Structure formats: C-alpha cells, structure tokens
Amino acid sequence: MFQLEIQLVTLILITALVLLVTGKISVDKTAIGILVLLALTGILTPKEAVAGFANPAVITVGAMFLLSRGLMRTGAVGFITELVLGLSRSNRRYAFVFVLATVGLASAFINNTPVVVLFIPIVMGLSCQCNFSPSSLLIPMSYASILAGTCTLIGTSTNLIVSDLATVYGYPPLGMFELGIVGLPIAIVGIGFLLIFSGRLMPRRLGPVCEINETSEKRYLAELIVPEKSPLIGRSDIISHGESELGLGVIEIFRNGSILDPSRTPVEIHQEDILLVKGSAEALVACLNKEILVPALGEENLNLGPGLKDDLIVELVLPPVSSLLREPLRTTVLKNDPEIQIIAIRSRRTHYSYRKIRNVRLKIGDIILVRCPRHKLTDIRKSMDVIIIEDVHHALIDREKAWTATAIFSGVVLAATFGLADIMVCAVTGVFLMTMTHCMSLKDAYRALEPEVLLLIIATIALGTAMEKTGATPLYAGLFLDLFSGLGPGTILLGMILLASISTHILSNNATAVLLLPIAVSTAVSLGVNPKPFIMGICFGASACFATPIGYQTNLLVYGPGGYRFSDYLKLGLPLNIIVVVMAALLIPLAWPF
C-alpha cells in the first residue's frame, strides 16, 4: 500500500509537470486539479489538502503583491522614470547603466513583475531618444530584476516560501538581508556581465513605435499586403529599399502566420506577404496610391488622409494581472469598443491577421496592434488590462500619496528586519494601512493578487506534504544522492543548485522551491551536514532562470515588445545561468559552512 501511494504521488507530480510545461490547461486549473486528486485518492486528508490556504508564506506573498501595487499606484517607484530619463541625457551607455541599476534596486524590495511592467515603456521611449534597439536592453532588464530579487528576503516570493518552509523542518527563518551576503556579489557580477555583453549578443531590432506625444514628428504603424503586381516581389533588400525609395521602415514580415525579421536575415518578398511598416501619413498614402502595397484585412477603412491626424496606431502588451488573459478576443472589451479597431495580434513568434484573431486566446506578453482616437488613450491607461508599450510620460498615479506609501513600506521592511513582528504580520499590516490611507483601492488590491501564482504555491505545498507523508521525498533524495556517490557535500550542493535551476526553466520558481526543498533537506540530513547551505542553494537555484522565456514572468513580458526569438534567451541567459550557479555553489559554503 505504501509503495502504491508513492506511485500515485509520482504520477500526480509527473502529470502536473506535463500540464504546466505544455500549458494544455491553465495554471490555476492545474493547481486545483492537484488538490482534488490528492484528496480523492486519500493521500491527504481534506484538511491537509487545503492547508496551503492558511500557510503564512502564501499570505505573505499575497500581501507583498499588494504592497508592490500600492508603491506603483502612488508613483513612489514611478519617480525612477523621470530620473532615468533625465540622467540618460540621450546617451545610450548612461541609459543602459541607469536602467539596469534602478530596476535592480527596485526589484530587491518589491515584486519584480510590476517593476518590469513599469520599465518596458521607459526602455521603448529611451530607445527612441538615445537611438538604440530596445531589444538590446529588454532581456538584460528582466535578468537584472531576477538577479536583484535574490538579495533580500522580500525580493522574490521564492525566498519567502523557502524561509517559511525551512521553519516547518525546524530551521530558523531567513533574515531580511541574509541572502545578500551571497546575492549581492552575484548581482554585481551578473549585471556587469549584462552591461558588457548585451550589446554584442542581443538583436538590434528597431522598435515599431516611438513614444506618443504632440510635438514629435508623427509616424504611424500599418500592416500592408504585397499585391499581385507589386514591384517589391522578389526583392531581398526590403529594409534599405523601403527607407530609401518608399520612405517606410519595414519592421517585420508576416507569412502564413509566421513572423520573419528582415533585420536578422535577408527575406525575399513574396506575393500576399504582410509587411508591418512605419512611416509618415504622406509616405503611406503615396505607397497605397501607387499600389505598391495595399491595406491588410481589417484596415480597408483606415483613412490615411486628414482623418488619421487625430488617430493613433499603438501597440498594447498584456501584463500578468490582465483580466483579458485566456479570453477569446471576440469577448473582450477591446473588441467590443466601437472606437478601437484591432488590426493584429503577435503571440510569441506567431502573427494573427484580422481574419484569424476572433478566436485567439490571449496570453501574458501578447502584443495587440490597435487603431484608436487620441482621446481614447486616457481610458486605456486607466485599465490594468493592457500597457501602451511606448507610453513613457503617462501613468495613472496619485503622487500626493507617494510619501505615505513609501513610509508604510519602509516601516514594513524595518519592522521585519529588526524582528519587531513576524514578516507576515508586518506585510498584512502594511496592506491594511495602504488601503486605509487610500494609497490603493480595494479593486486595485484584488487585481494585484495574482491568484494563479498563489494557487500554484498552495497546490505545490500540498504536493510537497504528500511527498513527505508517503515517503517519496527520501526516496527521491536517495536517488539524487546515488548520482553523486562518493563525492563531497560541495559537489552535491552544486548538483542541487543546478537541478533547481534546470527545474525552474520548466516550472515556476515557486513550484521548484516547494518541490525541491524537502529533497534538499533530506539530502543534507543523509550526508550528516548542516542543511542551511542546501536551503540557501534552493533559493538561488530556483531563481536562476535566464535561458528560456517560459520559466519566469518577466522574461515572458519582454518577449513580445523585444521581438525576441527563443535563441536570444540562450545567447545571454545560458552563460549568465552558469555564472550564477557556479558562484552560488562557491560562495554559499563560505557564508554558511557545512
């Protein structure tokens, strides 16, 4: 019977992994399914299955999401926008240094997802001012936020979860700045690596749109089809030809639903190709009048004459808190607003034209290309459902409350640092004070909770409990130790950190931490050494997610705006992963001896 329970837990674990990796069903449904199966099979009692809902780590993580939202909503973090814009002085090198440094500083104390959401339009705007490709900075920005998150207890939800689970096994919780002993050197080396190599390894794709303001020379985005007798058919120098002869910048080419990037490799133009171009209204009109290109589906009624002067074509990106996620486009507010015309959607490396987008289900990081009147931008900014990618100077914030929010958050950090109260109590108190002082509304607070993340943590806590209860954890620990038979604890620690890093590219960082922490502790106990280095190793390994876009939300967020390919993450992320894993394995035993 005991063996059967281990087999059932293993089957549930493998099924959950497959569903999370493939995305066949949503993360929250997978999480609920884990809880249901563990209870129905009798592996856990109903009380044990739902114990994660009352877990202090889950409540603390949820509260930190809300505190982060309060800081963003009041502009307590938004002042960084103006600071970066002012200090950069149209200098590319300064812009890179200031963006990575400020993103890192902010991400050390608040959830890095809203920080990256804030900085995407900043980077896009700076790329126009400082004349550099946003693709060279967006991935490094995401990586800097991840690196800095490992420097403090509240820098990432993973650290909070590991700290709380450590107490379950009888070990003290992590201190507020304890991780910084190793995290800070790793972050400094990692960000230095990004500054040196990002310009060489990242693509140089130009941003489709520059910032929206009244004074700049207006250039518009449009999707145009190559007609049957177009002189462009057969050309492979479309970028240079478009700029010199047509006055249009060719950003991307869409062919049979795939996205081709002519800035990377020459592309021979075919009939029925759709070109995403940028140019003045006059250049677009001239091109259409000569029938070199014709309007794409959905743009037949696009007035490229005087009527265009008050209309804008903008790109919108979906953040993690969007209520549009996984919804068919035909049911969304955007589709049903008569003043907003949806032109196309870019999802990862797939392009959906107007004819095909009605049934597309939206995902984090998807880009929606829309045409709307200028006055409509105010309504779009008020929504948390989408972000206007190049909208640098506009943010819906209440600056009068900025100092209040900063004082509340500082109080939470100081109280937790000096042990005046448990970190969960401090965080929940901070949320209460922010809502009472109107730093954020309850509606904002509910939307900022990211229930998918919380449900996944709850489900993996239940799965971890089931692994412990059935004996699966010591079994897995034994199998892991067999791989390192006869080797010292330092080598085994390196293997554990590497395993956590590999797992976090497949799962979420939180799920990796919950599932591997029991194995790490069991491994240390089996070796007869101090488990603290292994606990710390899980913190750093679970956050070392740089080589793919799918393991970390911030990596997904920059995928669309940067026009990246999967391989772009490998170029910069793989060496960075090696740096982090090796440095963690070398420094952790020095800070916390075996």
At 376-401, the pLDDT tens digits run 777 777 676 787 775 544 444 456 67
pLDDT single digits (tens) 74-89:
766 656 656 666 676 6
Quick one: 286 and 330 in the same domain?
A: no
Q: Does 245 fall in a domain?
A: yes
pLDDT at 358: 57
Q: What is the pLDDT of residues 321-342, one digit of tens each?
A: 677 777 766 556 666 677 777 7
Contacts of 5 (CB under 8 A, 6+ apart): 43, 470, 471
Of 444, 554, 576, 561, the closest CA to residue 115 belongs to 554
Regarding whether 261 and 216 lie in a shared domain, the answer is yes
Residues 291 and 320 in one domain: no
Q: Stretch 454-459: mean pLDDT, rounded? A: 84
CB 255 within 8 A of CB 273: yes
Q: How confident is the model at residue 580 (pLDDT cuts 50, 70, 90)?
A: very high
Q: Where is average pLDDT lowest: 13-27, 322-336, 360-374?
A: 322-336
* Residue 281 and residue 216 in one domain: yes
More confident residue, 343 or 279: 279
Nearest CA among 254, 221, 249 for reference residue 372: 221
Q: Is residue 103 part of a domain?
A: no
The answer to whether residue 202 sits within a structural domain is no
Residue 244 lies in a domain: yes
Pair 291, 332 in one domain: no
User: What's the mean pLDDT when you consider all of the chain?
Assistant: 80
**What is d(CA 127, CA 211) in angstroms, rounded to the nearest whole number?**
9
pLDDT score recorded for residue 395: 42
What percentage of the chain exceeds 70 in pLDDT? Answer: 82
Whole-number pLDDT of residue 144: 94
Q: Are 322 and 289 in a shared domain?
A: no
- Does some domain include residue 383? yes
Q: Reduced to 3 states, what is the DSSP secondary structure of residue 224?
A: strand
Q: Encoding tokens for residue 83?
A: 């600071």
Residue scoring higher pLDDT (139 or 484) = 139
Q: Residue 162: inside a domain, yes or no?
A: no
Domain that holds residue 223: 212-296
Q: Which two tokens stand for residue 470?
A: 């059935």
pLDDT at position 40 is 93
Task: Tell me which residue of 314, 497, 505, 483 sits closest to 394, measured CA to CA.
Answer: 314
Q: Which two tokens stand for residue 414?
A: 């100081």
End-to-end CA distance of the chain: 37
d(CA 251, CA 235): 15
Give the count of domains, the chain: 2
Q: Alpha-carbon distance 448 to 464, whole Å?
A: 26
Q: Which tokens sit at 315?
A: 């790109």
Q: Model-level pTM?
A: 0.74
pLDDT tens per residue, range 289-308: 788 888 765 444 444 444 44
Name the more confident of 137 and 315.
137
Residues in contact with 17: Cβ distance below 8 Å, sequence separation at least 6, in sequence order: 506, 507
Residues in the chain: 594
Last residue of a domain, one of 389, 413, 435: 389
Please check whether residues 330 and 359 belong to one and the same domain.
yes
What is d(CA 64, CA 175) in angstroms, rounded to the nearest whole number?
A: 16
Higher local confidence (pLDDT), 168 or 343: 168
Query: Which residue type does 180 have?
Result: G
- What does the pLDDT read at residue 359? 62
524 within 8 A of 171, measured Cβ to Cβ:
no
**Mean pLDDT to the nearest integer, 227-240:** 87
DSSP letters for 140-166? HHHHHHHHHHTTSTTSSHHHHHHHHHH
pLDDT value of residue 304: 47
Name the 3-class secondary structure at 584: helix
What pLDDT, on a 0 to 100 scale, did the predictor assign at position 71?
78
Among 336, 360, 389, where does a domain finish?
389
Give pLDDT tens digits for 490-524: 999 999 999 889 888 877 788 888 888 988 998 89
Q: Is the dihedral of CA 112, 115, 120, 126 positive or negative?
A: negative
CATH of the domain at 264: 3.30.70.1450
Structure confidence at residue 497 (pLDDT): 93
Residue 336 domain-assigned (yes or no): yes
pLDDT for the residue 80: 62
Judgement on whether residues 283 and 356 belong to the same structural domain of the protein: no
Task: Tell me which of 33 and 219 has the higher pLDDT.
Answer: 33
- As given in the structure block, the two tokens for residue 169 are 């096994």
Do 316 and 288 fall into the same domain?
Answer: no
Element (H, E) at 571: helix 566-591
Q: Are residues 331 and 374 in the same domain?
A: yes
pLDDT of 187 > 90? The answer is: yes
Please tell me the number of Cα atoms within 13 Å of 52 on its side-chain side: 27
If you average pLDDT over residues 211-230, what whole number do you get? 66
| Among candidate residues 323, 357, 389, the one where a domain is terminated | 389
For range 147-153, the mean pLDDT: 91
Q: Residue 185: which pLDDT band, with cuts at 50, 70 and 90?
A: very high
Q: SS3 string of 1-42?
A: CHHHHHHHHHHHHHHHHHHHHHCCCCHHHHHHHHHHHHHHCC
Higher-confidence position of 240 and 450: 240
Residue 582, pLDDT score = 95
- Report the pLDDT averaged over residues 198-214: 64
Is 243 contained in some domain? yes
